Amino acid sequence: MAREFARVGVIGLGTMGAGIVEVFARAGIEVVAVEVDETAAAHGREHIEHSTSRAVSRGKLAEDDRAALLDRVRVTTSLADLADVDLVVEAVPERLELKAEVFAALDKVCGPDTIFASNTSSLSITELSVRTERPSRVVGMHFFNPAPVQALVELVRTVVTEPAVVEDVRGLAERLGKSPVVCGDRAGFIANQLLFTYLNQAVGMFESNYAGREDLDAAMKFGCGYPMGPLALMDLIGLDTAYEILEEMYRQSRNQRHAPAPILKQMITAGLLGRKAGRGFYTYAEPGSSEVVADGLTPPPPGSDDATLRPINRVGVVGTGTMATGIAEVFAKAGYDVVVRGRSESKGDGAVAAVRKSLEKAVVKGKLSEEARDETLGKISTTVDFSGLAECDLVVEAIAEDLDVKQAAFSALDEVCKPGTILATTTSSLPVVECAASTSRPADVIGMHFFNPAAVMKLVEVVSPITTAPEVTATVRDVCARIKKNPVLCGDRAGFIVNALLFPYLNDSVSMLEAHYATVDDIDSAMKNGCGLPMGPFALLDVVGLDVSLAIERSLYQEFRVPGFAPAPLLEHLVTAGRLGRKTGHGFRDYS
């Protein structure tokens, strides 16, 4: 039988503490809120009153319910008023000694059955618990900001926490309407450990000039469906806050990937803390504003830079698979004449039929007129010979992800295409420069990595190896804008932007599971409910395919030789066992 919590205490009434008080009071629980002095106590009370008043104005809380909620909250400056509470949550500033002092003082006030909980986002719960006389009754209860809105609560157990205590607090979190996840005591817990490792890697990409801030952010928004790009999110969190979390993660793990990117320290020293300072990775209209304004790093729109653009009127597509037909559809819809090269007439006819089927669906859904459908189809022709692509201004190769096969195709294109034709590969993992090396025109070769399905996904990674001419990059960027895609520029290395950021995060999740740190469901819930991601890592791995994921992770490890990039043994074992995800009915989960 789960314990009934009738009265709880909250220490600290900053933004987070006041939000936690509101959460408890909304659930009908009496709250004793403690602050350091009368001024801070009054400010905390005002915060709760303002938040609940706003909820009433938005129709999310009735006025009578608000009045009852406020009646359940008692604000005080004396820890002695917590003598008879069932649970105390501390939400004081993120300093270990300060939190330890609070818990030591509570030991002298509270009864032996009172549970102590810390809202820390990164400090060791074990280190806090041993400063008390009740380490077995100390847990982490990490709410996410804003606490009344965010569903996730991370419950952190130590090696001595009583299982019954964890279950009691889990039951309480569910009573609050939250989605609790249980994990062990490791810096960053689940969400921050996975999130900040990814953010730190993105900062490193920016610092090394591998990709610009807008390109990094657009890649993860449009390629993965993330609500915010990594650098915009860093600005929202605050660079100083992010630095402290990474520092604590590195202190506990000694994992080099947790060591804050050096540019963070430089920016913090210069006062570039993010939105709250008006400048971070981006520049904002004023401190605290979310409005981004142009600055010296803002790139020009596609087609508006000084580079000479090559005229693109006729586009060739090599391949007849799903990606190739999607690319052909995209270009034809944009008004380009498209020639699809297939290995046989039947393959070419099949590609046109696939485009027709896709367009028909759009007509049925009212997204495309019959006239536009017919006009688009009229733009597409087929050929079985590479010579049929001779007059194309741009040729996009979209065949098997095999370097030998792609190099053979580029050699054939090199022989038949007119001078100045841009040759692009849609590879997602192979070196673009290897394709360029198989031609006599490496300056004209570039990567155009479309995402599947090409007709729907808005992102194209434009990959320029060191051999690519600047006007080729500028032309392809302009073409992407014309076909209503979002081009992001990056260098020619394994994973480009999206896969290089996404798959280490997925691999970290597998390692976390392998260490029995948290369950599949809890890790997925943490990333969906805590970070707003469209899917949890294990749900995504099962969709992508564990074999595909393993191949990408192997290529990343081979390129960068970073220990944390080495595929988790558990992933290797699942692939060996044939558990490849949804396509086989079994992966990290079983499917009917």
Indicate the SS3 state at residue 584. Answer: helix
Amino acid at 40: A
Q: Please state, in angstroms and as integers, the Cα–Cα distance from residue 190 to each residue in 57, 226, 267, 524, following that order.
A: 35, 18, 27, 10
- Of the candidates 119, 121, 122, 486, the residue annotated as catalytic is 121
Q: Which amino acid is at 167?
A: E
Dist. CA 550–CA 571, nearest whole Å: 7
Q: What is the DSSP letter of 379?
A: T
CA distance 322 to 180: 40
User: Is residue 244 flagged as an active site residue?
Assistant: no
Secondary structure element (H or E) that encloses residue 155, with its range? strand 152-156
- Please answer whether residues 396 and 318 qualify as being in contact, where contact means their C-beta atoms are separated by less than 8 angstroms: yes
Active-site pick, 47, 142, 258, 449: 142
HEC-encoded secondary structure of 274-313: EHHHCECCCEECCCCCCCEECCCCCCCCCCCCCCCCCCCC
Sheet of 138-143: strands edge to edge? 73-76, 30-34, 7-11, 87-90, 115-118, 138-143, 152-156, 179-183
In this structure, what token pair is assigned to residue 266?
A: 């430089």
CB 328 within 8 A of CB 317: yes
Q: Which helix (H) or strand (E) holds 448?
A: strand 445-450
Instruction: Return d(Cα 328, Cα 339) in angstroms, integer.
Output: 8
Q: Clarify whether 142 is annotated catalytic.
A: yes
Residues 485 and 462: their CA atoms lie apart, in Å, by 11
Report the alpha-carbon distance of residue 243 to residue 266 in Å, rounded: 11
- Taking each helix axis from N to C terminus, what angle separates 546-560 and 498-514, rounded to the nearest 10 degrees? 110
At residue 167's C-alpha, the angle toward residues 166 and 171, to 5°, is 120
ω before 146 within 30° of 0 (cis)?
yes
Is residue 342 a contact partner of residue 348, using CB atoms and an 8 Å limit? yes
Question: Which string of DSSP letters, residue by residue, matches 507-559?
Answer: HHHHHHHHTTSS-HHHHHHIIIIIH--SS-HHHHHHHH-HHHHHHHHHHHHHH
Catalytic residue check, 192:
yes
- The yes-or-no answer on residue 43 being catalytic is no
Catalytic annotation, pick one of 90, 154, 248, 329: 154
Catalytic residue numbers read 121, 142, 154, 192
